[in-house]
Amino acid sequence: MSSASTKHQDASIEPLDDTEVLRLRADFPILERSINNSPLVYLDSGATSQKPTCVYEAEQHYYETFNAAVHRGAHSLSVEATDVFEQARTTVAGFIGAAENELVWTSNATEALNLITYSFANASAGMGGEVARRFALGPGDEIVVTELEHHANLIPWQELAFRTGATLKYIPVDEHGALRMDVAGEIIGAATRVLAFTHVSNVLGTITEVPKLVELARSVGALTVLDGCQSVPHLPVNVKALDVDFMAFSGHKMLGPTGIGGLYGRAELLDAMPPFLTGGSMITSVTMEKAEFLPSPMRFEAGTQRIAQTHGLATAVSYLQEVGMGRVAAWEEQLGARMISGLEQIPGVKILGPGRDSVRIGTAPFAVEGVHPHDVGQFLDARGIAVRVGHHCAQPLHRALGVNSSTRASTYIYNTTSDIDSLLNAVNDVRGYFGVGK
């Protein structure tokens, strides 16, 4: 793999290489672990990434140095903690091309997506006054998602439809898991109020055609919600360039701590939306009868926030920025291509998803003929190789592919070509072990 096949990357960007990755790996002590007497080969970053020492040291440093409640009290620690908290927002918002007041902290992407749907449900119930009317849904309105979605970008919309009487429609995938762009224009119509879709399939690793989908939504005046969970960690992402109205992402998949994620929303939309969680820190004035709410982002940040985690996430973002997201993406594309072509050559192994022409991140979903994914995963684990097995929180997509579950290997910044080769060698032995295909 000497030359990068830069299908989605700027060809002028120099990808990482094994030497540099080996240097980076020194920042991830967990990768030194031995699992079942073999060196750990971590290929489950699609589920959660490992964290460099600087990330959890940042959290520790926060507790040792600044810990206090933010946005309340006048004492020095509280002021410093607030600075740390808001500086983290500036860093992470900048990373995705958003303004500071357009990034709302959430626990994770799931909460970010639920924030939108619960806010819209509140608007549908008449909350938020005149300005919130644009988010109100009812019978006759349509919400459109895709068959690719992770359950987190499907079920909240199902629930919103149930609550409001709106209709949920979806853009289907073909038998290979490619989004049916040929019918997207028929499904997105005059009644469409929201189009929610994933940037990168968490199962297949395929990148969706965001500009085309955004254009279709815009042409009918629908709001766009992008699930950036699998794109923000792996690709350069700029919400303004993508021109989406909302984007959800998760910190723990991008070298950050668990318990922190974000919702990007265009400022004029966030400021007009009724709150989801209510309580302290999100109000201007409160009487025994009612409350007035702060503008975004604080209107959506009720209660004591995840301060140390925001600092940890900002540190992770700085780490990624230092390496360069273009280089990360180009490296993972190489690793992904090596995985896919290597797996394809193993007898009885089938890559799930569209053909090799499709644009993917470093993710390889595959099936081993005659061996259940759970057994494949167990066999790989015995050799220290961590992959994901199951339905990956995307049951409808698996159903469309005609399987109940699959095995997924997914890369990140710290994976080497030797990790990929360990996977390929092990997968090569799976069918023999289970006495299949002899």
Partner 1 sequence: MSELDQLYQQIILDHAKVRRGDGLVETAPGTCTGESMQHNPVCGDQIRLRVHMDGATIKDVSWEGDGCSISMASASVLTELAVGIEREEFLGILEEFRELMRSRGTKQGDEEILGDAAAFAGVSKFPARVKCAMLSWVAAEAALLAANS
List contacts with partner 1 (CB under 8 A).
Answer: 36, 371-375, 378-379, 382, 389-391, 395, 398, 404-405, 433-435
Confirm if 84 and 313 have CB atoms less than 8 A apart: no
Q: CB of 334: closest distance to partner 1 in angstroms?
A: 31
Q: If you count them, how many residues does the chain have?
A: 438
By beta-carbon proximity to partner 1, the closer residue of 304 and 404 is 404
Radius of gyration of the chain from its Cα atoms, rounded to whole angstroms: 22
The one-letter code for the residue type at 255 is: L
Burial class (CB in 10 A: 0-12, 13-18, 19+), 202: buried
Q: CB of 429: closest distance to partner 1 in angstroms?
A: 11
Confirm if 202 and 233 have CB atoms less than 8 A apart: no
Q: CB of 390: closest distance to partner 1 in angstroms?
A: 4
By beta-carbon proximity to partner 1, the closer residue of 299 and 391 is 391
| Neighbour count for residue 347 (Cβ, 10 Å) | 9
3-state DSSP percent of the chain in helix, strand and coil, to 5: 40, 15, 40
Residue of 223, 198, 217, 194 lying closest to 208 (CA atoms): 198
Residue of 20, 69, 23, 42 lying closest to 388 (CA atoms): 42
CA dihedral 81, 82, 86, 87 (to 10 degrees): -40
Angle between the 307-323 and 53-65 helix axes, to the nearest 10 degrees?
A: 140
By beta-carbon proximity to partner 1, the closer residue of 52 and 373 is 373
Q: CB of 36: closest distance to partner 1 in angstroms?
A: 7
54 is catalytic: no
The one-letter code for the residue type at 160 is: L
Q: Which of 1, 283, 393, 403 is catalytic?
A: 393
By beta-carbon proximity to partner 1, the closer residue of 200 and 371 is 371
Residue of 324, 313, 151 lying closest to 234 (CA atoms): 324
CA distance 310 to 292: 26
CA distance 400 to 52: 37
CA distance 58 to 313: 9
By beta-carbon proximity to partner 1, the closer residue of 364 and 371 is 371
By beta-carbon proximity to partner 1, the closer residue of 24 and 386 is 386
By beta-carbon proximity to partner 1, the closer residue of 162 and 433 is 433
Q: CB of 433: closest distance to partner 1 in angstroms?
A: 8
Q: CB of 368: closest distance to partner 1 in angstroms?
A: 12
CA distance 382 to 289: 61
Q: CB of 28: closest distance to partner 1 in angstroms?
A: 24
Positions annotated as catalytic residues are 393
